[in-house]
Homo-oligomer: A and B are copies of this chain.
């Protein structure tokens, strides 16, 4: 479970940078909306997207999330992604996620999505490192 200080950062409408491994061993690092339920991070992607296919093949992820108001306030999370191939569950989760970023427009946004199936990405943290907001000191 995330600590109180970690959860405060995760509850901001900040953007997650999600790193995944490509088929050829190179990396992808993409900017994502997300939501935390206290134990995991939850994101949505088209089932046909590169990141969803990467995660079906290799569940390793690392996520960096920084406070838009203070770039030295950030969290680095390493862990594994569980991919839930359930379009209805993914769309229901997206309504909750989108509300964090676009408020009352979230339902209209979700309703206007194409029929292309979505997956729910559930990230289970294994290592978490929080930086509390101070710039680096010489060391």
With both beta carbons as reference points, the residue of chain B lying nearest to A22 in the complex is identified as B78
How many chain A residues touch B (CB < 8 A): the figure is 41
Find out whether the CB atom of B29 lies under 8 angstroms from the CB atom of A71. Answer: no
Of the stretches A1-9, A12-20, A35-43, the one at the interface is A12-20
* Contacts A19-B19, A68-B71, A139-B114; A60 near B102 (Cβ below 8 A): no
Find out whether the CB atom of A101 lies under 8 angstroms from the CB atom of B29. Answer: no
Find out whether the CB atom of A71 lies under 8 angstroms from the CB atom of B139. Answer: no
Q: How many copies does the complex hold?
A: 2
User: Would you call A84 an interface residue if the criterion is a C-beta within 8 Å of the partner chain's C-beta atoms?
Assistant: no
> Looking at the complex, which one of B14, B21, B110, B135 makes contact with A101 (CB distance below 8 Å)?
B135
In the complex, which of the residues A17, A101, A126 has the most CB atoms of chain B within 10 Å of its own CB atom? A17
> Looking at the complex, which one of B21, B68, B101, B111 makes contact with A27 (CB distance below 8 Å)?
B21
* Contacts A138-B109, A139-B113; A62 near B102 (Cβ below 8 A): no
